[in-house]
Amino acid sequence: MPRVDPYGAFNFVVKMDGQDVGGFSDVSGLTTELKLSEYREGNERENHVRKIPGMHTVGDVTLKRGIVNSRDFWAWVQQSRSPSGTRGATVKRTVVITLLDESGTPVQSWQLQQVIPMKYTGPTLAAKGGGDVAMEEIVLSAEGLILMDSPSA
């Protein structure tokens, strides 16, 4: 029998090229959009246009996490913005975001293909506030988005 209650949005893992890249507080922007072209032949009997599917785009995905003792994102950003001789396919990665159920079992995964970092934002530091977590944010640009058939954590 299919599940009736929707899954919570708070239990997920992020992997980059198959490696766990730490816990994130937010993942947003898992979108894809299909561009349509309108076309009408001159001898159409009805006065309407046809909608013809064209190119598709993938939205930019934002990942946010508390800063941990890891420079993996920064190293990737540095590699991506290095001279053109070292850029290319080696900089592009595959990122998989997997939603988990209450018991930690994967229920759905989104695979981002040909991903490069397009923006890194470090933490906002302030002496007041006391218990706030220092957060970092990375915005990813992907060429493809696939809803995977068989989730993998």
Q: Residue 65: how many CB atoms within 10 A of its CB?
A: 20
Most confident listed range (4-8, 37-41, 70-74, 146-150): 37-41
pLDDT confidence of residue 4: 83
Residue with tokens 């922007």: 29
In a domain? residue 38: no
Average pLDDT of the segment spanning 22-29: 90
pLDDT confidence of residue 140: 97
Average pLDDT of the segment spanning 127-144: 89
Does 63 have pLDDT greater than 90? yes
Domain count within the chain: 1
pLDDT tens sequence across 90-126: 789 999 999 998 998 999 999 999 999 999 999 988 8
In a domain? residue 5: no
d(Cα 65, Cα 137) in Å, to the nearest integer?
7
In a domain? residue 75: yes
In a domain? residue 35: no
In a domain? residue 47: no
Burial 95-109 (b: 16+ CB within 10 A, else e): bbbbbbeeeeebeeb
- Domain with 101, as residue range(s), is 12-30+64-147
Give the tokens for residue 26: 């937010």
Q: Residue 90's domain is classified under what CATH number?
A: 2.30.110.20
